[in-house]
Chain A
């Protein structure tokens, strides 16, 4: 196996990176891939609780880096999907305990163990972000249809291009279709016009996300949830499939135009 490494990033905090990482991981694993996700948010560990794996943690990524355990010992197996693993962040350390070359080395060793390696980046554009992005083959930037999130996403996209990481693809998360229809929220088309990157998915605002997070069950495992469907579609697009975008903004003609544009 030779894993593809995808880092989920954003610039602004709280836009849904951890939610997206957890959901893409379960969706890819449910589709039969072997997936390892890494919590890159050293000191503010969260991916474990979102995935419902917080009680199983023994070792973390800093233990691997500092040689206190082997890579496989830090890989927590998911309780639902046999081919899904989490390497948690260290909670009591800070970002200074990890360097970009540490991340590159760990991920390099992990590549032969999985089909997909997903890295949940911390917010910001400093060291933690740089560490998370260093080993990536591709980066997904998550934003919300809202001024500060879009502005920060643009900064991150600019930095990634300047560092020759290529142009990332975009997830627009927490889109509220009725607000868009009444012209009180940026539409997906507006956000794409502004950021000029490739769209990989639009995830609606969905209370199932909060309920799922409360229980430690990512919503992608919920067949009826719209956000879950959106995340499953993104996982399929990651695998190279062409999947039409969900009809969230029905009525404004965006979809036909967008799909026609290619």
Chain B
């Protein structure tokens, strides 16, 4: 909690908050929209392979000014999917 006697490093909060705000500004997606994107992604991939939704990690990374959506999606039980039934 906020402690008046401890030096509050406000520059750190400024930087951390800006890092998040700028990511969402740059891709023009709110945190909620990014969550929805993640759900859609999980749903789509689940139609083809079996995955554990809890294990999916999706993050925004950036290199200079370009943003990258990085997804780590461990696949379970390859082969259980019935080929040819996707349609």
- Among the 9-residue stretches B8-16, B36-44, B46-54, the one with 4 or more Cβ atoms under 8 Å from chain A is B8-16
Give which listed residue, B7, B17, B26, B62, contacts A147 with CB less than 8 A.
B17
User: Given A154-B25, A154-B26: A147 and B11 within 8 A (CB)?
Assistant: no
Q: Are A167 and B19 in contact (CB under 8 A)?
A: no
Q: Are A184 and B11 in contact (CB under 8 A)?
A: yes
Q: Are B7 and A182 in contact (CB under 8 A)?
A: yes
User: Given A155-B25, A161-B65: A150 and B10 within 8 A (CB)?
Assistant: no
Query: For the side of the interface on A, what is the size category?
Result: 20 to 34
A147 to B10 CA separation, bound complex (whole angstroms) = 11
Q: Which of A149-173 contact B (CB under 8 A)?
A: 150-151, 154-155, 157-158, 161, 167
Closest to B22 in A: A154
Give every chain A residue within 8 A of B9 (Cβ-Cβ). Answer: 183-184
Whether, in the assembled complex, A58 has its beta carbon less than 8 Å from a beta carbon of chain B, the answer is no
Query: For the side of the interface on B, what is the size category?
Result: 10 to 19
A209 to B74 CA separation, bound complex (whole angstroms) = 58
Whether, in the assembled complex, B60 has its beta carbon less than 8 Å from a beta carbon of chain A, the answer is no
User: Given A157-B65, A196-B65: A151 and B22 within 8 A (CB)?
Assistant: yes
A187 to B11 CA separation, bound complex (whole angstroms) = 8
Give every chain B residue within 8 A of A195 (Cβ-Cβ). Answer: 65
Give every chain B residue within 8 A of A151 (Cβ-Cβ). Answer: 18, 21-22, 25
Q: Are A150 and B18 in contact (CB under 8 A)?
A: yes
User: 21 A-B Cβ contacts within 8 A?
Assistant: A147-B14, A147-B17, A147-B18, A147-B21, A150-B18, A151-B18, A151-B22, A151-B25, A154-B22, A158-B26, A182-B7, A183-B7, A183-B11, A183-B12, A185-B11, A186-B15, A190-B14, A190-B15, A194-B15, A196-B64, A196-B65
Interface residues of B (CB under 8 A from A): 7, 9-12, 14-15, 17-19, 21-22, 25-26, 62, 64-65
Top 6 closest pairs, chain A to chain B, by CB: A183-B9, A196-B64, A196-B65, A183-B11, A184-B10, A190-B15
Task: Add 12 more A-B contacts to A147-B17, A151-B25 (CB < 8 A).
Answer: A147-B18, A151-B22, A158-B65, A183-B7, A183-B9, A184-B9, A184-B10, A186-B11, A186-B18, A194-B18, A194-B19, A194-B22
